[in-house]
């Protein structure tokens, strides 16, 4: 049962073609599909990159890299392994963490310049993710945030939280499964 003010995400509520259709067109070499995919997910991808990198210019660069990679590798997308959103976010996370590691290796800090204007995720996407994260236990959420937003390995998380490695692995796996279930139920 949904309360007042609750937003429910459905595929039918999204304007334009379904994400899987866009990826099929993209793998067939349709350049307009790339633009449509970008319009649909750039806000989501940029939000994730910005959260990880904390630098608007670098986040925008990674967004461009992610969509270029999607263009080149659309035929490799496997719907059995996750949604198009998950596929794009995985690429964004990987590329963002690579940038953080390169920055740390060069001992650079993010620029002191003012943040540039950034694409904002749609409110229903943000709400769905926040609700799904809020439904996790505090321990699960902490482990997941350290992994995804700070780029720590499971061993580093275990050390930081003073928990056994197996416990951290279980928390992250359980958290990811619960997030998947919660976000899929929002789409229905």
Name the domain boundary from 54, 81, 107: 107
Residue 180 predicted with pLDDT over 90? no
* Of residues 152, 141, 149, the one with CA closest to residue 178: 141
Residue 31 predicted with pLDDT over 90? no
Give mean pLDDT, residues 10-35: 75
Q: What is the CATH number of the domain that holds 182?
A: 1.10.10.10
**When comparing pLDDT for 162 and 4, which is higher?**
162
- Encode pLDDT of 101-158 as tens digits: 888 877 755 554 544 445 555 666 677 777 888 888 999 988 988 888 777 888 889 9
Report in angstroms the alpha-carbon separations of 142 from 44, 92, 136, 138: 21, 20, 9, 6
DSSP 61-108: HHHHHHHHHHHHHGGG--GGG--HHHHHHHHHHHHHHHHHHHHHHHT-
Name the domain boundary from 50, 78, 107: 107
| 8 found inside a domain | no
* pTM > 0.85: no
Do 98 and 35 reside in the same domain of the chain?
yes
* Cβ atoms of 118 and 50 closer than 8 Å: yes
- Encode pLDDT of 41-98 as tens digits: 999 999 999 999 988 999 999 999 999 999 999 999 988 888 899 999 999 999 999 8
Q: Provide the pLDDT for residue 45.
A: 94
Do 99 and 27 reside in the same domain of the chain?
yes
Q: Provide the pLDDT for residue 122.
A: 64
Q: Provide the pLDDT for residue 10.
A: 36
Name the domain boundary from 52, 73, 107: 107
Q: In the numeric block, which tokens belong to residue 10?
A: 């459905």
Q: What is the CATH number of the domain that holds 74?
A: 1.10.1740.10
**When comparing pLDDT for 179 and 42, which is higher?**
42
Number of domains in the chain: 2
Domain of 66, in residue numbers:
14-107
């Amino acid at each position: 049962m949904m309360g007042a003010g609750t937003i429910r995400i459905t595929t039918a509520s999204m304007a334009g073609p379904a994400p899987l259709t866009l990826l099929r067109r993209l793998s067939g070499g349709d350049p307009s599909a790339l633009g449509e995919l970008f319009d649909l997910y750039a806000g989501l991808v940029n939000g994730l990159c910005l959260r990880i990198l904390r630098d608007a210019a670098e986040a925008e660069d990674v967004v461009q890299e992610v969509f270029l990679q999607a263009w080149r590798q659309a035929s490799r997308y496997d719907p059995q392994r996750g949604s198009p959103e998950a596929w794009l976010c995985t690429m964004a996370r990987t590329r963002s963490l690579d940038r953080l590691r390169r920055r740390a290796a060069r001992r650079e800090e993010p620029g002191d310049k003012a943040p540039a204007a950034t694409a904002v995720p749609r409110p229903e996407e943000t709400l769905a993710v926040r609700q799904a994260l809020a439904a996790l236990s505090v321990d699960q959420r902490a482990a997941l945030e350290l992994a995804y937003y700070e780029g720590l390995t499971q061993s580093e998380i275990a050390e930081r939280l003073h928990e056994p490695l197996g416990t951290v692995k279980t928390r992250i796996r359980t958290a990811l499964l619960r997030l998947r279930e919660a976000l899929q139920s929002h789409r229905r």
